């Protein structure tokens, strides 16, 4: 198949006859995306007669487009007019359902806000209690530290005095 190629590039895919856009013999090209040989108009070649050709483009004129637009507007208007009025029993039933749902939602939100406020008050009270307990504990620890430091200082002074007296006693013996 490579001998029949008239294109300028070589095939990039191993085992594939040719890349997209390459021209085969007699104006026939290989279409990589649909995987078949087509002529310049996108019509299937004799090699693949079972494939369908591309459908033709149908161009509508201005009058047809305007008529279609008017028809679409008319259908939209009819659909709008077919809606039930505000005094229809179904509309009234749906409105009452929405109102009851909204009322229930408002009650739930109020309960949630109340519960949230209560929890916030409890947290604040707990934090104040913990802060007071911490302050009392810190004061007690500070007092205990002062007492401990004073006791240690007294012990050091007593030891120093004992050593001083022992040294004086040794000096007096000599």
DSSP letters, 44-105, are: B-TTSTTSPPPPPPPPP-HHHHHHHHHHHHHHHHHHHHTS--TT-HHHHHHHHHHHHHHHHH
For residue 11, give the nearest of 2, 171, 27, 160 by alpha carbon: 2
**Among 44-48, 76-80, 128-132, 156-160, where is mean pLDDT lowest?**
44-48
The pLDDT confidence band at residue 87, using thresholds 50, 70 and 90, is: confident
Domain spans of the chain? 1-48, 89-174
96-132 pLDDT per residue, tens:
999 999 999 999 999 999 999 999 999 999 999 999 9
Tokens representing residue 168 in the block = 């004086």
The pLDDT confidence band at residue 63, using thresholds 50, 70 and 90, is: confident
| Cα–Cα distance measured from residue 72 to residue 78, given in angstroms and rounded to the nearest whole number | 10
Q: What is the pLDDT of residue 40?
A: 53
- CA-to-CA separations, 154 to 7, 131, 166, in angstroms, rounded: 108, 34, 18
Burial of 31 (0-12, 13-18, 19+ CB in 10 A): middle
Q: Whole-prediction pTM value?
A: 0.38
Res. 143: pLDDT tops 80: yes
């Amino acid at each position: 198949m490579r001998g029949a190629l008239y294109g300028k590039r070589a095939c990039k895919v191993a085992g594939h006859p040719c890349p997209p856009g390459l021209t085969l013999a007699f104006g026939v090209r290989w279409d990589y995306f649909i995987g078949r040989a087509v002529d310049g108009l996108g019509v299937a070649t004799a090699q693949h007669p079972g494939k369908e050709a591309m459908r033709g483009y149908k161009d509508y004129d201005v009058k047809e487009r305007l008529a279609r637009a008017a028809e679409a507007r008319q259908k939209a208007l009819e659909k709008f007019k077919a809606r039930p009025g505000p005094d229809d029993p179904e509309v009234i039933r749906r409105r009452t359902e929405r109102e009851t749902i909204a009322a229930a939602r408002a009650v739930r939100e109020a309960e949630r806000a109340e519960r949230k406020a209560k929890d916030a008050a409890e947290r604040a009270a707990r934090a104040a209690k913990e802060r007071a307990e911490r302050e009392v504990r810190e004061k007690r620890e500070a007092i205990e530290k002062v007492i401990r430091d004073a006791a240690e200082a007294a012990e050091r002074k007593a030891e120093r005095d004992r050593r001083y007296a022992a040294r004086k006693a040794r000096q007096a013996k000599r």
